[in-house]
Each structure stands twice: as C-alpha cells, then as structure tokens.
Amino acid sequence: MRGQFFKIWDRVRSSFWFIPVVMASVAVALALVGVTVDVPVTQWLALNLGWTFTGGAEGASAVLGIVAGSMITIAGVVFSMTLVALSLTSSQLGPRLLRSFMRDSTTQVVLGTFIATFLYCLIVLRTIRRAEEVAFVPHLLVTLGVLLAVASVGVFIYFIHHVSVSIQANAIAARIGKELIEKIDSLFPERIGRETQRIPAEPPDARFL
C-alpha cells in the first residue's frame, strides 16, 4: 500500500499540472477572500497609515486586463520554450531523460506563477463595477495584481536563465547523479558498516616478505 502511494505521488510530481493547479487554486481563493476584505483593509490603511488609493473603475479594468492578457501570452511562451528544451534533450541525449526534465519543479512553479496571476486578475476584474451601478473598485487587490505582474517578469527572466543552464550536459549529468543517489538512499536507508568498528589489519608476517 505504501509503495503504491509513493508510486502515485512520484507520477503526480513528474507531471506539469500538479503545482500549477495548486498555485492557481491559491490565487482564486486569494481573489475571492480579498474582495470581501478589500474595503475594510483600505479604510484601515487610510486611517492609520495615511495610505490612500487613487484611480477609478476604468483605470483598474484597463490595468487588470493588460496584466491578464500579458500573463497568458507569457505562459504560452514558457510552454513553448519547455517543449523546445524537451525536444532537444530527447533528440540529443535520449528520450529516457525526459522524465528528469518533467520533474523539474522550477518549470512547474514558473508555469503556475503565470497561470495564477492570470486567474487572479480575471476574477478581480469581474468584481469591478462602474459608476452607473453601485461603484466598487478593489484598490488593494488591483495593487496586488500589479505586484504579481512585476514578480512574474522577474520569474520569466530567471526561467530563461534556468532553461539555458539546464540543457547543458554537465548540469544534466549532475541532476541524474543526484536523483540516483536519492533513489539509492530511499531503497537502502540503512548505512551498512557505519556503526561497526573496523578491526585494524595486522601487519604481514615477515616470512612472506
């Protein structure tokens, strides 16, 4: 039973969808909870810290729309770069190394960052109401969306560097060696011969010299 669980967990961990789905779920929950607390938090910041937010519904909608469109475009670019790296690895180093690239958590986190930012901006954009209705602009959530966009740009720059390094032969060999050591440690956790005291070897008999 335990071996079956670890087998399923290893299969889930090696997929591209697990970490992005988790990050997207967190972003959706953050947007839904943030809408309910945006007004009280904004009022508290204005009263205690003097931090006021400016901008109307049109500006907030434009900002979130631009961020959401940019994030889904960059996510497509990241996915294309990942497929190119997998194709190069499969053709030059063998298809058996594809699993090592699919287990790369950095690629999964990068994809999750862009998808999570896209869904966050999309949900917050839906809550904005114009002046002819009951006006509502979640200033704090819009600011958080802009910060997520800035962080996503940094993540994208790091991902370009990560891909260029990860397809090098020495990096691939080091990653395979690390995975091999981890598998050996998981299969044989006991260190044989570590606790036993070694008996010093006796000097050879002079008659055999």
Contact by Cβ (8 Å): 157, 171: no
pLDDT of residue 200: 56
Q: Which residue did the predictor score with more confidence, 29 or 164?
A: 29
User: Kind and range of the H or E element at 80?
Assistant: helix 57-92
Evaluate if residue 52 carries a pLDDT over 80.
no
Nearest-angstrom CA–CA distance, 193 and 209: 31
pLDDT of residue 33: 92
Contact by Cβ (8 Å): 89, 101: yes
Q: Which residue did the predictor score with more confidence, 26 or 136?
A: 26
Q: Which residue did the predictor score with more confidence, 51 or 207?
A: 51
User: Mean pLDDT, to the nearest integer, of 110-115?
Assistant: 92
pLDDT more than 70, % of the chain: 78
Of the candidates 87, 181, 163, 75, the residue with the CA atom closest to the CA atom of residue 121: 75
Nearest-angstrom CA–CA distance, 161 and 3: 36
Nearest-angstrom CA–CA distance, 201 and 86: 52
Evaluate if residue 203 carries a pLDDT over 80.
no
What does the mean pLDDT of the chain come to? Answer: 79
Evaluate if residue 26 carries a pLDDT over 70.
yes
Pull the structure tokens for residue 12.
Answer: 């889930």
Of the candidates 115, 21, 13, the residue with the CA atom closest to the CA atom of residue 73: 115
The confidence band for 207, taking pLDDT boundaries of 50, 70 and 90, is: low
Evaluate if residue 43 carries a pLDDT over 90.
no
Q: Which residue did the predictor score with more confidence, 142 or 202?
A: 142
The confidence band for 208, taking pLDDT boundaries of 50, 70 and 90, is: very low
